Amino acid sequence: MNAMNTHYPEPVRVETVNRHTLAVIVDNEPGALARISGMFSGRGYNIESLTVSETEEARHLSRITIVTTGTNAVIEQIKAQLDRLVPVHRVVDLTLQGNALEREICLVKVVGQGEHRSEALRLAAAFGAKTLDATLNSFVFELTGSTEEIDRFIRLMSVIGLVEICRTGIAAMGRGAEPL
């Protein structure tokens, strides 16, 4: 029985799952990414997007941008666990900072002839995609934009003759003059 001496169970509390973009500054050393991804997999957390690059060569620092989902408690736990890892210098939740700028690059290969070919070119122009390669029966387009915009482009191209996709993952930065 619960604290009120009743046979009814406690009401189930449902928490919403939110998408968060985390920027993590780490030492640029072998194994740093493995430790971070191992922390996620070891605790059953999912990484939806992951991008990594050295950002400060003189100080040997890299920036990792991670997109993940979870309840507020799970996101706080992820940030705390990341902060405890040895190569990590700083963890910033860009989602909590406000409207962060998020972009992704996508390469899309489309095969088609006749009307499909001209429709692929029209859609690419409408989305502002660059044509990187063109043959008599195929195109490779490059599109930079939000994840939602790229998803829409891919859905439309899949009807026309989409055969291959390559995505970079999210690159994100907070707005304004303040650095990370």
Tell me the CATH number of domain 17-98, given options 3.30.70.260, 3.40.718.10, 3.90.1150.10, 2.60.40.10: 3.30.70.260
Q: Which residues in 55-88 are b (16+ Cβ under 10 Å) and which e?
A: eeeeeebbbbbbbbebeeebbeebbebbeeeebb
pLDDT tens for the chain, 180 residues: list them. 455 677 778 877 788 999 999 999 999 999 999 999 999 999 999 999 999 999 999 999 999 999 999 999 999 999 999 999 999 999 999 999 888 999 999 999 999 999 999 999 999 999 999 999 999 999 999 999 999 999 999 999 999 999 999 999 999 999 999 888
Token digits for 119? 């429709």
Establish whether domains 17-98 and 101-174 are of one fold.
yes
Residue 143 has a CB neighbour count (10 Å cut-off) of 20
What pLDDT score does 48 carry?
95
What pLDDT score does 8 carry?
79
Radius of gyration of the chain (CA): 21
Please report, for the chain, the start and end positions of each structural domain, with discontinuous segments joined by +: 17-98, 101-174
Tell me the CATH number of domain 101-174, given options 3.40.50.10860, 3.40.50.720, 3.40.50.150, 3.30.70.1150: 3.30.70.1150
Helix H, strand E, coil C: the string for the chain is: CCCCCCCCCCCCCCCCCEEEEEEEEEECCCCHHHHHHHHHHHCCCCEEEEEEEEEECCCCEEEEEEEEEECHHHHHHHHHHHHHCCCEEEEEEHHHHCCCEEEEEEEEEEECCCHHHHHHHHHHHHHCCEEEEECCCEEEEEEEECHHHHHHHHHHHHHHCEEEEEECCCEEECCCCCCC
What pLDDT score does 29 carry?
95
